[in-house]
Amino acid sequence: MKPQETKFSFVYNEIKQSILDGQIPQGNALPSSRMYCEQFHVSRYTINRVFDMLREEGLIDIQPRLVPIVVSTKEAFNTSNAVFEVLKQKKSILQVYQTFALILPSLWVFALQGCDVEVLPHYKQAVKALRLGHTADGWRPSSKLGHDVLRIGGNSLFSELYSTFCLYNKLAFFTKDCPYFSNHFFPGSASVTGVIIDVLKGDDPLTKYNQLSNMYQKLTDSIENTLNYLSETTPKCPSQTGLRFSWNPMRGQDYYYSKIVDDINLKIGLGKYPMGIFLPYEKQLASQYDVSISTVRKALSELEQRGFVKTLNGKGTIVIEPDDTKLHQLALNTGYVEKSLRYLHALQLMVLIIRPAALVAAPQFTKAELEELANRFTSPGSIYLADILKTIMKHTTLEPFYVILSETNHLLEWGHHFAYYPSKKRTISYLNKQVIIAFQQLREGNVDSFADGIADCYRYNLSRMKKNMIEKYKFRNVANIRVPEKY
């Protein structure tokens, strides 16, 4: 297993990078520790440790009872060096904008449903920026307002993705240190804030979606034109080194034993470890996962508590028919309930991002792949949605989009906790039929209907799982999870 990144190191690197990239300018205050705790899902102790480290490095100043102030961006470089560094990451930066132009409009529209925009913390700042027109830092109120909207949407994955977008987009460089971008994009830049304000006050979801899509596409086109201009005008343009996009919604929670639990749980759900079969011996599992035997035992103990396996003295660990009462008991466990919420949030996210992913990927499906899928769709016991997703991801060439799809799908594997129960066959049968209908639309050349059909499959799964958790397993706290509408 690859080494885990600690919560501390992740938060430290993100806040430090936001300072060095100019997202938080010198002389400005950092967000409060409470806001960082909500953003990164960590304790105040972790945030205070990060603040102490940044102060030791001379980046911030901390006074009693006051929020930290940025006092230095000592690693910042002059404009020519900044251009050089950005061009080294040209392809990666452009892919970040292209990815989020595809997914942010849907997230915004969903989060805005029922939102009282005038009470948002940065709404008045955004209105003021619209009235004053373009300044070098004029993008900040709109960016902060974006955080507000996605944060109150009820799904923490949305705001986490937006924070990641802001970390990788280098927008501070383009708006402050790149006259070409300012001259070519900012003549209409007031419309960016204007579009956002119009969207916030609008009623029709489809109109909102189209407005946001146009705005983000215009921004992406301007970034691409700027990067091309810089490449053409920079002597000895650097070769591409890239910047690997990273988004890990389970960071700080992906313990080794829990990874083993999830992997074995998935294999049981998919039938690779059927009922009545013994799992590999502890020593074999330790070697397979490259962990200690004690870690394996902890994972098997967790699986036994969930009612999926039973350890027999002197014989090993056998896969058993799960007992509904186990899930009722687990509903009293705070950590387990948090995972159920995270799972439903991941389903929400997948409903919203799979459609643009399918629209982009579907035209790239080869004839051989279509035939292979058709053959797989005749196999009894298969989960056709998993086959379709695999092919969509194969043709997802934007690395950030691939990472987001992959990590979201990983969160959805937790749903196999519920997949062994009596409704499994009925649910999979229905989903398989819907996938076949969508697939037929694809073969007939109707890509839009195909993408809508795949999104509907995840929408159905979200509705059904939410209902089961409330009615069957008494997970009352999932009642407020909304199912995204079509528009």
Tell me how crowded residue 171 is: count the other CB atoms within 10 A of its CB.
21
Task: Report DSSP state, residue 270.
Answer: T
CA-to-CA dists, residue 451 to 410, 448, 472, angstroms: 21, 5, 31
Say how far apart CA 145 and CA 142 lie, in whole Å: 5
Exposed/middle/buried for 224, CB within 10 Å: 0-12, 13-18, 19+? middle
DSSP-H helix ranges across 169-248: 171-176, 179-185, 190-201, 205-233
Q: Residues 48-54: contacts with CB within 8 Å, 24+ apart?
A: 49/8, 50/8, 50/11, 50/12, 50/15, 53/12, 54/12, 54/15, 54/16, 54/19
CA-to-CA dists, residue 324 to 64, 65, 327, angstroms: 53, 51, 6
CA-to-CA dists, residue 415 to 158, 331, 345, 378, angstroms: 20, 15, 12, 24
Secondary structure (3-state) at 29: strand
Give me the tens of pLDDT residue by residue for the chain, a chain 487 residues long: 555 557 788 788 878 877 876 778 788 888 888 878 877 777 888 888 988 888 888 888 888 878 889 887 655 445 567 888 888 889 999 999 999 999 999 999 998 887 777 777 777 777 776 666 555 555 666 777 788 888 887 898 998 898 889 888 888 888 878 888 877 775 554 456 667 777 777 788 888 899 889 889 988 999 999 999 999 988 887 777 767 888 888 766 667 787 888 788 778 876 788 888 899 998 999 999 888 899 989 889 888 877 788 888 888 899 887 766 666 666 566 667 777 888 899 999 999 999 999 999 999 999 999 999 999 888 776 789 989 999 999 999 999 999 999 999 988 876 665 554 555 667 788 889 999 999 999 999 999 999 999 999 999 989 988 888 887 777 777 888 999 988 7
72, amino acid identity: S
3-class SS string, 88-147: HCHHHHHHHHHHHHHHHHHHHHHHHCCCCHHHCCCHHHHHHHHHHCCCCCCHHHHHHHHH
Tell me how crowded residue 234 is: count the other CB atoms within 10 A of its CB.
14
